Amino acid sequence: MAEVILLNGGSSSGKSGIVRCLQAVLPDPWLALGTDTLVEAMPASNAGIEFAPDGQVIVGPEFRRLEAAWIEGIAAMARAGARVIVDEVFLGGADSQKRWQKALGELRVLWVGVRCDSAVAAGREVARGDRVIGMAASQAEMVHRGMVYDLEVDTTRTESLECARTIAAQVS
Amino acid sequence: MAEVILLNGGSSSGKSGIVRCLQAVLPDPWLALGTDTLVEAMPASNAGIEFAPDGQVIVGPEFRRLEAAWIEGIAAMARAGARVIVDEVFLGGADSQKRWQKALGELRVLWVGVRCDSAVAAGREVARGDRVIGMAASQAEMVHRGMVYDLEVDTTRTESLECARTIAAQVS
Amino acid sequence: MAEVILLNGGSSSGKSGIVRCLQAVLPDPWLALGTDTLVEAMPASNAGIEFAPDGQVIVGPEFRRLEAAWIEGIAAMARAGARVIVDEVFLGGADSQKRWQKALGELRVLWVGVRCDSAVAAGREVARGDRVIGMAASQAEMVHRGMVYDLEVDTTRTESLECARTIAAQVS
Amino acid sequence: MAEVILLNGGSSSGKSGIVRCLQAVLPDPWLALGTDTLVEAMPASNAGIEFAPDGQVIVGPEFRRLEAAWIEGIAAMARAGARVIVDEVFLGGADSQKRWQKALGELRVLWVGVRCDSAVAAGREVARGDRVIGMAASQAEMVHRGMVYDLEVDTTRTESLECARTIAAQVS
């Protein structure tokens, strides 16, 4: 049985909705932590992450250093007995996956790719109203490059709750 | 050309997303105001509105009195030249529509019904994570009883942006 | 007895906290609407308002046109029987006040200036973490230029709840 | 030099404001994580934490189990090189401190008590408008019982930024 569920997908691909549904359908309580939690925990300025007006996300060495420690911490939480759902945006594709794999080590991880048609994700980005326009389109394909998943879901025409049920069925 | 767009739909039917997309696709700036704005403007307690744990929304005379003044104010904004998109949850169905029609009087209003399959809306309510569970299911049909629309959209299988484009095409 | 309470003060001077306390201490339910509500109701882009990186707020004719209609609407709500608390940032000082006075006409208005030492407001802006740094300092004095108030409160060393009680005592 | 800053104080005592100011005044980037992050990461229901209408917070064994893993994870982040500011509400007073001390082990921790007069904190709770009323008063004294601090700050009459500067002076 998986100890960590790691979801990777572009901005506005529907990860957060799936995570909340997973927490609702999984019988045990799972912690939900992810990129958004880390960005929120960073200082408002000088954190080494920048959101360009065109939707590009530029990440510097200072961010990477704190992120590495963050990843170690998540792994430690799972080793200490917490079930953890991580939702991530692997800007570095397969390199990002390797960083997580190294930290998670022997832990049983369910790797999930969350796909969404680029144009549909871009439309949902407009509908959300709280994201820099352009992130969805620029990340939709990029984050999946070279990735290896146990399972992929596609939110283009499938509801979050249904995706969550598909994932949950692989957990136990 | 419409001076007011009034969207009516149950909780988690996708109204807010459509409103944000409408603001993005309509060439002129439109104000977006609705039930959520009014509830937010009310005092935290003793406002005459109650959200029961099962998703029922109970509205008392004090709320109705303030709401009546709110509706008059929205109508006055439109008469003063602002284009306004209102998103509403007509718990009283056709009676709610009559209250708005009376206040809006001679203004040109585009009445839009926002439908969503009850089970799908209930799933999206779980995915949002910030709503009392049960509201979506209990309101999905109720709010449309006896209503007359110029246009209906259904978010069950249509994206917010596409719904917004359909509505925008009727505005000008 | 006042039908409208209009609070004017710079960003991070503590207006919102006072408004919530006023809603709690006033025996009747009052609607709370203000600049933040209006900005929130505007489209995400092309609304004619811009927040410069140094904290300057630049407002164009399109914003002013919608704002004029918004003000008419607030006045109409008050005339229709709603008690309304408006919290505003009068970037135009006395000119802004005249616009409101004209729209509010015969309504009984309690004009309240919310002052806060510029350095203290700037510190609270940092503590809030969700505002463009520089707004508090640039607005602290500017918004009060040429204004005439019924009452002034100063949040530099007085709590929101105490300020609210002082204001509420003048309402009835 | 401290590797972890641990702030403990009751609800509405001003911890979050101090944390944001600390992140702004400390020369290096520090991660800010705390009770609110953990509660946010928990499932919306069945997480073993309950907020009673009178402001009491009831925490069950399921919450404590996940919290223990969370604490281990924070310690691991600090060991991996991240500087971390933790803001906590020690409902269990000295027992809570012991749990953290055990997990943090050899790490250099600056223990900070954040005090606020109970009536003032209760007033600020009303001004915030997003908290269950009663939490501030019930926690103001309780969380400090039996605690040992390196430093105490009192927000009753001292601004967040000034408290942050006092703390920052002890860090380096």
pLDDT band per the 50, 70, 90 thresholds, residue A130? confident
Mutate which: B66, B87, B100, vs C, most C CBs within 10 A = B66
Mean pLDDT of chain D: 95
For chain A, say whether D25 makes contact (Cβ under 8 Å).
no
Tens-digit pLDDT profile for residues B2-50: 999 999 999 999 999 999 999 999 999 999 999 999 999 999 887 788 8
Residues C120, D162 contacting (CB under 8 angstroms) = no
Neighbours of chain A (3+ CB pairs under 8 A): B, D
Where helices occur in C42-107 by DSSP H, the ranges are 61-79, 94-104
Residues A78, A1 contacting (CB under 8 angstroms) = no
- Residue B37's pLDDT is 97
Cβ distance of B161 and A127 shorter than 8 Å: yes
Cβ distance of C18 and D127 shorter than 8 Å: yes
Residues A57, A91 contacting (CB under 8 angstroms) = yes
Interface A-D, measured as beta-carbon pairs within 8 A, has a size of: 101
- Residue B48's pLDDT is 83
The minimum CA-CA distance between B62 and chain A, rounded to whole Å, is: 32
Confidence check: pLDDT of C46 > 80: no
Confidence check: pLDDT of A89 > 90: yes
Residue of chain C whose alpha carbon sits nearest to that of D128: C17
Which residue in B84, B87, B124, B90 sits closest to B104, CA to CA? Answer: B84
Residues D4, D127 contacting (CB under 8 angstroms) = no
Which residues of chain D neighbour C127 with C-beta distances below 8 Å? Answer: 16-18, 20-21, 159-161
As a dihedral over the C-alpha atoms of residue C26, residue C28, residue C29, residue C31, rounded to 10 degrees, the angle is: -70
B55 φ/ψ sector (left φ>0, alpha ψ -120 to 50, else beta): left
Mean pLDDT, residues C16-24: 97
Burial (Cβ within 10 Å: 0-12, 13-18, ≥19) of residue D169: exposed
Give the C-alpha distances (Å, rounded to integers) separating A32 from A18, A152, C111: 11, 19, 47
Q: What is the pTM of this model?
A: 0.95
pLDDT band per the 50, 70, 90 thresholds, residue D122? very high
Closest partner residue to B160 among A21, A123, A160, by Cβ? A123
Cβ distance of D82 and A62 shorter than 8 Å: no
Confidence check: pLDDT of C34 > 90: yes
For chain C, say whether D105 makes contact (Cβ under 8 Å).
no
The minimum CA-CA distance between B67 and chain A, rounded to whole Å, is: 26
The angle, 0 to 180 degrees and rounded to 10, between the axes of the packed helices C61-79 and C94-104 is 40
Mean pLDDT, residues C43-70: 89
Residues B90, B8 contacting (CB under 8 angstroms) = yes
D36 tagged catalytic: yes
For chain C, say whether B61 makes contact (Cβ under 8 Å).
no
Mutate which: C131, C161, C163, vs D, most D CBs within 10 A = C161
pLDDT band per the 50, 70, 90 thresholds, residue B140? very high
Element of type H or E holding B162 = helix B160-171
Distance CA B39, CA B131 (A): 14
For chain D, say whether A79 makes contact (Cβ under 8 Å).
yes
Cβ distance of A31 and D75 shorter than 8 Å: no
Confidence check: pLDDT of A105 > 80: yes
For chain A, say whether B160 makes contact (Cβ under 8 Å).
yes
For chain A, say whether B131 makes contact (Cβ under 8 Å).
no
Percentage of chain D surpassing pLDDT 90?
84
